Amino acid sequence: MGKLRLLLVLASLAACSAPAWMALSPTAWRVASLFFLAVVVASGLHVVLGLTRIVSLCHFALVGVGAYAAGYLSLQQYTSPVLSILLGAGAAGAIAFSIALLTRTLADHYLTLATLAANEILINVFRSATSFTGGVNGMSGVPPLSLMGHELSQPASYYPVVALVGLTVAYFVRQLATWPLGHALRAMGDLGSRVASLGISEGHVRARGFVAGGVLAGLAGGLMAHIDGFVGPESFGVGYSVLYICFLVLLGVGRLRGVFVTASVTVLAAEALRALVAWQMVIVAAAAVVVMVVRRASWRTPDLRGEEPT
């Protein structure tokens, strides 16, 4: 009942403030939409890093897989945007499963290096497969989102869809930590050798977590393609994965609140530093280093019962 009351209060506040929302500029609507897209991306990385304890440097490349697959299906196969986004998420999950299968015998920094190699392979595919991705020039002309025949081409029109997806994904990830799979992922991430000694396949459990993170990354990529109308290989470099990993670690690995703070920082920083495009990553990375030195955040292990550490 407590959660239900909270949801009702939030819904009432949302309804009362609707007139103020309608006064927002298109830029404000777009930034709010990008925030929820970042929540989806960070949620996928939260599953891989926070639960499974895999430092995946190919997470944004999987976002690219979802974006390119959704864009190609919409442009070349005339698939509906909703279906193309779902198929793009499935394609990213399939690639993630392949990576997990090929790296099932690796661990620690060797596994991290393998994900870095996977990232570089995917980025080079994005640049080289001209007939599929448009090469270094990218893929343009991706149709906007549409629902039941209504085109959602304006930020104010597609924001409710993106926000609903972001909140649903965050709720799913929160519940995942309390499900048997979530317990298995955390146990395998924290006590891998001991759990494996009980006869549980570490590779199978790890693959499930990696695939879950990949599907969420692909989902974000598909939405991104239909919102921007353009997909380019430079948007999925390893630097973005490193940036998200840094902030999730700084804010406490395994804490869902870190997902929302990471999304806020990355999106707002990108908008605030739009005039300094060439220096965006340098400034944000320097800020992360300063926070790390000041705060000295520790890699704390969440309670295996699904409760966040205080």
Mean pLDDT of the chain: 80
152 has pLDDT over 50: yes
CA distances for 238 relative to 56, 123, 146, 160, 207, angstroms:
10, 9, 31, 30, 21
pLDDT value, residue 266: 82
In a domain, 254, yes or no: no
* 166-170, 197-201, 294-298, range with greatest mean pLDDT: 166-170
In this predicted structure, the answer to whether residue 308 has a pLDDT above a threshold of 60 is no
User: How confident is the model over 63-122, as pLDDT tens digits?
Assistant: 999 999 999 999 888 889 999 999 999 999 999 999 999 988 887 789 899 999 999 999
What b/e sequence results for 281-307 when a residue is b if at least 16 CB atoms lie within 10 Å of its CB, and e otherwise? beebeeebeebeeeeeeeeeebeeeee
- Section 189-201 average pLDDT: 58
**Is 259 contained in some domain?**
no
Query: In the structure, what pLDDT confidence band is assigned to residue 39 with cuts at 50, 70 and 90?
Result: very high
Residue 130 lies in a domain: yes
* Residue 153 placed within a domain: yes
Per-residue model confidence as pLDDT tens digits over 200-235: 666 677 888 899 999 999 999 999 999 999 999 988
Element (H, E) at 145: strand 145-147
In this predicted structure, the answer to whether residue 1 has a pLDDT above a threshold of 50 is no
Provide the residue type at 198 as one letter: L
Name the residue among 53, 56, 60 with its Cα closest to residue 115. Answer: 56
What pLDDT does residue 4 have? 45
Does 145 score more than 70 pLDDT? yes
pLDDT of residue 300: 47
pTM of the model: 0.82
Taking residues 177-185, what's their average pLDDT? 79
Q: Comparing 6 with 226, which gets the higher pLDDT?
A: 226
- Give the pLDDT score at 192: 57
139 within some domain: yes
In this prediction, residue 198 carries a pLDDT of: 52
Residue 36 lies in a domain: yes
Structurally, the chain folds into a number of domains equal to: 1
The answer, yes or no, to whether residue 306 has pLDDT greater than 60, is no
Say if 19 falls within a structural domain: no
Domain enclosing residue 164, as ranges: 27-237
Other CB atoms within 10 A of residue 245 CB: 22
Model pLDDT for residues 280-302, shown as the tens digit of each residue: 667 767 776 776 666 654 444 44
pLDDT > 70: what percent of the chain? 76
Dihedral angle computed from the Cα positions of residues 159, 213, 281 and 64, in that order, rounded to the nearest 10 degrees: -70
192 in a structural domain? yes
